Chains A and B, each alone.
Chain A
Amino acid sequence: EVQLVESGGGLVKPGGSLRLSCAASGFTFSSYSMNWVRQAPGKGLEWVSSISSSSSYIYYADSVKGRFTISRDNAKNSLYLQMNSLRAEDTAVYYCARERMATMANDYWGQGTLVTVSS
């Protein structure tokens, strides 16, 4: 069974940093591209970043470029999102999602982890 479990969310002050993790199981993690998608309270989905299976290709939304860094450790079946210079508008539930092969669709999602940026 495919499972994605996010962790690392919490309350952080503006300007602070946080590192999210996503533990994957039930599939060959090293074969799949992965994404981070966020959802602000009461709002819609926003794509944040994606990383290819071997980390060769990495993309960011303009809203986080230069502040967030996506990475993965295929040996540990884990995906990460390092978030620096956090702003109030980064407050959201952050989901990690697996990309279905050859489609760029997100076929499995974690339960999400809440990041709150507030003083």
Chain B
Amino acid sequence: QSVLTQPPSVSGAPGQRVTISCTGSSSNIGAGYDVHWYQQLPGTAPKLLIYGNSNRPSGVPDRFSGSKSGTSASLAITGLQAEDEADYYCQSYDSSLRGVFGGGTKLTVL
């Protein structure tokens, strides 16, 4: 059971908007630690998508955005494309500075 809770799956049609939630607690996200998001395409290593709650590394399309509020965070993907089909993970840290991940969310593009 993961420390951060994500929905196991979400889906959307091309062009639509989807959101993926990440719920933590007062020991991690709620304690003020940043949330990061990763995209993992099948058979590949994870790729950093969002860092520091809402910042995009260079090269990541602005269709991807992140937000954080209280003990939760969200990843939004607009203008859904077939190549967005992947697993998405949120990550934060706990008060002992140990990393914590969400269980992952499989995005299906219909």
Contact = CB atoms under 8 A, between A and B. Distances in A.
Interface residues of A, number: 24
Interface string A46-60: 110010000001011
Interface in B10-52: 33-34, 36, 38, 40, 45-48, 51-52
Of the four ranges (under 10, 10 to 19, 20 to 34, 35 or more), the interface on chain B belongs to 20 to 34
A78 interface: no
B44 to A, nearest CB: 8
A5 B91 CA distance: 23
Interface string B69-110: 000000000000000000101010100111111111000000
B45 A44 contact: no
A29 interface: no
Interface stretch (A7-15, A68-76, A80-88, A108-116): A108-116
A119 interface: no
Contact of B101 (A45, A50, A59, A111): A45
Given A47-B91, A112-B45, A107 B101 contact: no
Contacts of A47: 91, 98-101
Mostly, the A contact residues are strand
B26 to A, nearest CB: 19
A62 to B, nearest CB: 8
A91 interface: no
Q: Which 6 A-B pairs have the closest CB atoms?
A: A47-B99, A105-B51, A105-B36, A44-B104, A109-B45, A45-B101
17 contacts: A35-B99, A44-B2, A44-B101, A44-B104, A45-B91, A47-B98, A50-B97, A59-B96, A59-B97, A60-B98, A62-B98, A100-B51, A103-B52, A104-B93, A105-B36, A106-B48, A109-B45
Interface of A: 35, 37, 44-47, 50, 57, 59-62, 95, 100, 103-112
